[in-house]
Amino acid sequence: MKKTKHTVALALAAMLACQPLSVYAATFADMNQAPWAGAEASINKAASLGLVVGETRNGKNHFRPRDSVSLSESCQLAYKLLIQTGKAKADDSVTQKWTPIMNAYGIQSWAYPAVSYCLENGILATSNLSGFMKNGSNLPATREQAATILGRALTKGVSSYTANETTTTFLDNSSISTEAKPYVALLKRVGVVNGDNSNKFNPKKTLNRTETAVLVTNLYGVLEKATTPTTPTTPTTPANPTISTQKGTVATMTKFYVNLKDSAAYYMLASGGTTITLNGSSATMSDVVKLYKAGTSIDVTLTLDSSLHITKLEATYKETKKTKGSLTKVRYNKTDKEGSITIDKDSTYSFTDKDDVDIRIDKKSYSLKELYDLFTKAEDDKATIEVEVTLDNKGNLTKITGSTKESSSSDSIKGKVSKVNYDKSDKTGYIQLKNKTTKYYIDDTDDVTVKIDNKTKDYKDLYNLYDDGDSTITVTLTLDKKDYVTKITATTSDSEDDADGNVANVTYKENKDTGTVKIGSKTYDIDDVDDVDISITDGSDKIKTWKDFYNAYKDKKVMNVSATVKNDEVTKITGKVTEAKGEYSKHGTDYIKIEGKYSNNVSRYDFDKDDIDTIKANITNASYVKTLEDLIDEILNDFGKGDKLDLVLTLDKNGNITKISGEYK
């Protein structure tokens, strides 16, 4: 096989356990992205040992063979290899000792046990930690950095291995740092690393996950073969004492191990004695794995013994979501054996025959293809299939149950038309009714029966009538079982109308640009406030936008208006403010300005200065004020910062002040 430029490798979250090689065989969907041919065998071997794991995306296991690995993950590899081969023991007190230092350097908590072990045993120096993180993200390890960490771990775990060489046989030896050379030489000597096809080590390059698989399996073999001297007088300890717990979200799992996101993988007890609970109830590992394979996000609390095997697994997950509706479309591709279902025309769920989706219609099991055939037959019979779909908390489809319903009489819908759409080229269209968001589609405008005012017409006539805008159109729509319009019965009335009177209520949904206005006793819905032409005289100002109109209403201004109504929709509002309320702001010889509470606008209202002694004024807490002249002389001219004057101004048809009332504070 042709050599390529792969040298050392590192497991992203290396996990080992005392399990046979054949326990788990990984199948990764992205092996075509491996950096060299033949890499799949190494990756699968490492996965079968439990040394490397993937992640699930859209129901498929991905290895990410070209991704780099970090310095924290390098320490995790070294630590796990020593623990699982019996060359080291976990010690919570060591983690606690180094936690303040690791926290100061921003090391992520999942790496604390491994990094603290390396610090305690001289594999790392505290000064090394400054190169682990940047802006909260893990930095990738170079090849010489990983080799140094793993080489030191090897000498720590097996005392017969020493790192005394000061040079290596690689052609780029001069590029390898002085600190790393002894450990690169050691790993080459024991067969863990090799050079590329030019016999270069490439020390400054980062590792990818495929190179990881090669390194991990090689180093595991070296450690497994090495013996650790035992002292006969060493006292025995109880088997599998509990030493720690780990919490996290499952990244990958099988019946034999659990790999946590941003953390490590941990193995079940070989004896099968691990206690399992699921949402507080006793369960089996098969129950948990089935949920995981269905795409459910699972959080776990793992209780670990001194060998980091799982003695207790407490799993929790959010309950699934269910949606009910009519099956309106089923798509199936015979070649790819994939497809989708659509419920009520607007909710579509894609899946394949390989996905673990339980389909049961009328208490009978179906495959995706069989469901497609059943739906096609139901369409021909004008029957419907009512279903309930179950989704996991990621939105993936896990179950479809339902029943077929025989055809019955057609539905009909009645209302006033708000829109008629017509695509002349495709001979399709739709109708929308007032106060409804549903679009009622016409599959073929030539096939729909149309009557307007008891006269037979076609769909184009209805569209032209709507487009002219001279009539209010009320329709009764007859729908088939697919909710397509088959018949339209329309009546018209003169659409031009005026609504006159005081504004009784205004609403405004700014995020949707919709609102309502009540004039007199009638309320009008506004589908788009920007389409309403507004011109209301407010003293010397004009109210021109719906937002200002809405704020004027909230400021309790009395507005007498005339609204133009077309097709039952308000298109224009004109009028005047006849009474304005607000807080006094400023005055002049012929005007007063007040500020609204909601509009935050200062509005000017004029008066005839020759009439100031005849314009009546009634101010609470100022009984001596009888006229506008009194108001100006006694209060406004001496108005101080701590004073407050709320005014109500009565206006004539020209917007000028004719009367004033208010409260002085």
Q: How far apart are CA 344 and CA 331, in angstroms?
A: 15
Evaluate if residue 291 carries a pLDDT over 50. yes
**472-481, 490-499, 538-547, 630-639: which has the highest mean pLDDT?**
538-547
Residue 499: per-residue pLDDT: 82
Give the pLDDT mean for 182-198.
90
Give the pLDDT mean for 577-596.
92
Q: How far apart are CA 536 and CA 552, in angstroms?
A: 10
Evaluate if residue 17 carries a pLDDT over 80. no
Instruction: Count each helix (H run) and each strand (E run) in the chain, helices first.
Output: 12, 37
DSSP annotation of 26 reads -
Evaluate if residue 92 carries a pLDDT over 90. no
> What one-letter code names the amino acid at 281?
S
Extended beta strands in 445-494, E state: 449-452, 455-457, 471-479, 485-494
Tokens 């208490």 correspond to 363
Evaluate if residue 532 carries a pLDDT over 80. yes
Instruction: Give percent above pLDDT 70 in the chain.
Output: 87
Q: What is the pLDDT of residues 330-376, one digit of tens each?
A: 888 888 778 888 887 667 888 776 666 889 998 888 988 889 899 98
Model confidence at 651, in pLDDT bands (50, 70, 90)? very high
Model confidence at 319, in pLDDT bands (50, 70, 90)? low
> What one-letter code names the amino acid at 229?
P
Give the pLDDT mean for 217-222.
84
> What one-letter code names the amino acid at 260?
L
Please give the structure tokens belonging to residue 634. Answer: 């006694």
**Exposure string for 599-630, b = 16+ CB within 10 A, e = fewer:** bebebbbbbeeeebeebebebeebeebebbbb
Query: Which class in CATH covers the domain with range 321-405?
Result: mainly beta
Give the pLDDT mean for 577-590.
92
Q: Coil, helix or strand for 168?
A: coil
Query: Please, are residues 7 and 201 in contact by the beta-carbon 8 Å criterion?
Result: yes
Residue 294: per-residue pLDDT: 67
> What one-letter code names the amino acid at 219?
L
Tokens 């490590």 correspond to 264
Evaluate if residue 201 carries a pLDDT over 90. yes
Query: Please, are residues 659 and 652 in contact by the beta-carbon 8 Å criterion?
Result: no
H or E stretch at 71: helix 71-84
∠137-140-142 over CA atoms, to 5°? 155
Give the pLDDT mean for 472-481.
87
Residue 27: per-residue pLDDT: 66
Which of 292-306, 417-431, 454-468 is least confident? 292-306
What is the three-state SS of 204-240?
Answer: CCECEHHHHHHHHHHHHHHHHHCCCCCCCCCCCCCCC
- The packing angle between helices 143-157 and 181-189, to 10°, is 70
Residue 230: per-residue pLDDT: 43
Q: How far apart are CA 114 and CA 74, in angstroms?
A: 9
Q: How far apart are CA 9 and CA 218, in angstroms?
A: 10
Evaluate if residue 153 carries a pLDDT over 50. yes
Evaluate if residue 267 carries a pLDDT over 90. no
Please give the structure tokens belonging to residue 317. Answer: 């997950």
Evaluate if residue 16 carries a pLDDT over 60. no
Q: Is the pTM of this model over 0.85?
A: no
Evaluate if residue 5 carries a pLDDT over 50. no
Tokens 């005026």 correspond to 498
Q: How far apart are CA 315 and CA 78, in angstroms?
A: 28
Evaluate if residue 238 carries a pLDDT over 60. no
Q: What is the pLDDT of residues 81-90, one digit of tens each?
A: 888 788 888 8
Evaluate if residue 437 carries a pLDDT over 50. yes
Which residues on adjacent β-strands are paired with residue 250? 260
* CB atoms closer than 10 angstroms to residue 594: 25
Tokens 């788009």 correspond to 528
Q: How far apart are CA 163 and CA 457, in angstroms?
A: 96
The residue among 553, 540, 565 whose CA lies nearest residue 597 is 553
Q: What is the pLDDT of residues 380-417, one digit of tens each?
A: 777 889 998 887 655 677 789 999 886 554 578 888 88
Residue 511 half-sphere exposure toward CB, CA atoms < 13 A:
0
The residue among 334, 267, 358 whose CA lies nearest residue 307 is 267
Residue 347: per-residue pLDDT: 76
Residue 477: per-residue pLDDT: 92
Q: How far apart are CA 158 and CA 415, in angstroms?
A: 85
Give the pLDDT mean for 283-307.
83
Measure the N-to-C terminal CA separation of the chain; round to a whole number of Å: 95
- Report long-range pairs for 334-342 (Cβ below 8 Å, ≥24 apart): 334/369, 337/368, 337/369, 338/368, 339/368, 339/372, 341/371, 341/387, 341/389, 341/397, 341/400
> What one-letter code names the amino acid at 124?
L
Q: Coil, helix or strand for 261?
A: coil
Q: How far apart are CA 582 and CA 560, in angstroms?
A: 18
* Percent of residues in the chain assigned helix, strand, coil, to nearest 5: 25, 35, 40
Which residues on adjacent β-strands are paired with residue 299? 249, 316
Model confidence at 240, in pLDDT bands (50, 70, 90)? very low
Residue 235: per-residue pLDDT: 42
Evaluate if residue 22 carries a pLDDT over 50. no
Question: How far out from the chain centre does Cα 524 lie?
Answer: 37
Query: Please, are residues 30 and 65 in contact by the beta-carbon 8 Å criterion?
Result: yes
* 244 vs 159 pLDDT, higher one: 159
Residue 407: per-residue pLDDT: 58
Tokens 């159109």 correspond to 473
Extended beta strands in 453-553, E state: 455-457, 471-479, 485-494, 497-509, 514-519, 522-526, 533-538, 541-543
